[in-house]
Amino acid sequence: MNSPYGVFPDEVILQILARLPVKSVFKTKVVCKVWYKLISDKYFTNLYNELSVKNPMVLVQVSEPSSESRSSLICIDNLKGVSEFSLDFVKDRVKVRACCNGLLCLSSIPDKGVYYVCNPLTREYKLLPRSRERPITRFHPDGEASLVGLGCDLMKQKYNVVLAGYHRSFGHRPERTFICMVYDSELNKWRKFVSLQDDQFTHMNKNQVVFINGGLHWLTDSCSCMLVLDLATDVWRKIQLPHEISCGVRSRVYLLELDGRLSVIQIYEAWMVIWVMEDYEKEEWRMVDKVSLRCIRGMVPGIFPISQNDNYVYLATHKQVLVYQRNSRVWKEMFSVKDSSTLPLWFSAHAFRSTLFSCH
């Protein structure tokens, strides 16, 4: 059956266009008025985002050896390979602090307390308003928030940025007072609330924040539980990890997402064990895979899971990004850096998805 617009029905055209990279989508807008109308419709945006979130990627911020002030973003996609793009459109020297559903939260390197939200593929960005708090005098230990989180609701096209950390008064040791600032994109302003916490977080804990069920989740340094912020109620709570998981010298645990569900990956000795939360309300976990690491035994001490879906897992080492195909049980190197001065890739690697999410 023909469409008024040509040989193919509208839905077929939309399904094809929804599988293109973001840059290609914008190019097809100028092909004809019909395609412009189809792509501009909210239905297409929702369709594109729905398909894209099923294809997780890894985003790595790599500093250029010739210039400390410049850095590039490397996007590693198991289906489309490796691509590179820049954050030069932000007009500031920035560091990626969090990713969620295609958006990035960036902090200014020269100006503490300045934050941006951007979509690196559409090159759209927003400078967040300054909060009334003075971060340099409020957060311990270095004047910056311990936790930075970004929660993006694809259906409602809204997002929240969370800055949280322990309070420190001048001349005093840090307290258990946990200050939390939440930016609301719909209201374009910050709100603040205070609670008491005593959890600590490693660098990887801070990087691997997961937004699920309207909450932001961070794994604590003890590896016994995760700290969760419900963005609807501004309430912190804790979720226990599987009882079988223990964290020690020979065992490491990481928090990821697996197709819309919470997941933890434990690496110990020569094994990688993947757990998924089957029931969020009842906090019921299930082990879904146990992978032998013997073929990459030499890398095990410095390998870190970054992103995954049902078919594959991305892991970063000091200089490489690997992908493990769960069905074929095959390992593949997706990206590597040659420069010896580059920081460990896992230090600046984030789970990423390509979406048409607008930050305005």
Question: What is the strand order of the sheet 271-279 is part of?
Answer: 251-258, 261-268, 271-279, 284-292
Are the C-beta atoms of 319 and 342 separated by less than 8 Å?
yes
Vertex 195, ends 194 and 198: CA angle to 5°?
135
Are the C-beta atoms of 227 and 199 separated by less than 8 Å?
yes
β-sheet bridge partners, residue 162: 149, 182
| pLDDT of 340 | 56
Name the DSSP class of 174: -
| pLDDT of 64 | 63
| pLDDT of 171 | 53
| pLDDT of 261 | 95
Question: Does 1 fall in a domain?
Answer: no
Are the C-beta atoms of 164 and 229 separated by less than 8 Å?
yes
Residue 288 burial by Cβ neighbours in a 10 Å radius (0-12, 13-18, 19+): middle
Tokens 């912020």, located at residue: 229
Range of the domain at 98: 41-352
Chain center to CA of 70:
21
Residues in the chain: 360
**Strand 304-308, strand 312-316: pairing:** antiparallel
Q: Pick from 3, 4, 8, 15: which is nearest to 39 by CA? A: 15
Please give the Cα distance from 184 to 128 (Å, whole number): 10
Q: Is 183 helix (H, G, I), strand (E, B) or coil?
A: strand
The type of residue at 60 is: V
Question: Does 357 fall in a domain?
Answer: no
| pLDDT of 92 | 92
Name the DSSP class of 242: P
Global pTM value? 0.87
Question: Does 275 fall in a domain?
Answer: yes
Question: Does 191 fall in a domain?
Answer: yes
| pLDDT of 1 | 42
Question: Does 25 fall in a domain?
Answer: no
Please give the Cα distance from 351 to 313 (Å, whole number): 11
pLDDT in tens, 174-209: 567 888 999 999 999 999 998 888 777 877 778 889
| pLDDT of 16 | 84
pLDDT in tens, 211-250: 999 999 999 887 778 999 999 999 999 999 998 887 666 7
Question: Does 359 fall in a domain?
Answer: no
Chain center to CA of 338:
25
| pLDDT of 66 | 54
Q: Report residues of the chain scoring pLDDT below 50.
A: 1, 135-137
Question: Does 341 fall in a domain?
Answer: yes
Per 3-state DSSP, the chain is made up of helix, strand and coil in percentages (nearest 5) of: 15, 45, 40
Are the C-beta atoms of 160 and 184 separated by less than 8 Å?
yes
Question: Does 31 fall in a domain?
Answer: no
| pLDDT of 133 | 60
> Domain count of the chain?
1
| pLDDT of 191 | 94
Are the C-beta atoms of 4 and 13 separated by less than 8 Å?
no
The type of residue at 225 is: C
Please give the Cα distance from 272 to 249 (Å, whole number): 15
Q: Pick from 149, 224, 218, 204: which is nearest to 181 by CA? A: 149
Are the C-beta atoms of 76 and 308 separated by less than 8 Å?
no
| pLDDT of 301 | 84
Q: Which residues contact 69 (CB under 8 A, 6 or more apart)?
A: 93
Give the CATH number, domain containing residue 47: 2.120.10.30
Name the DSSP class of 109: S
**Strand 139-140, strand 147-153: pairing:** unpaired
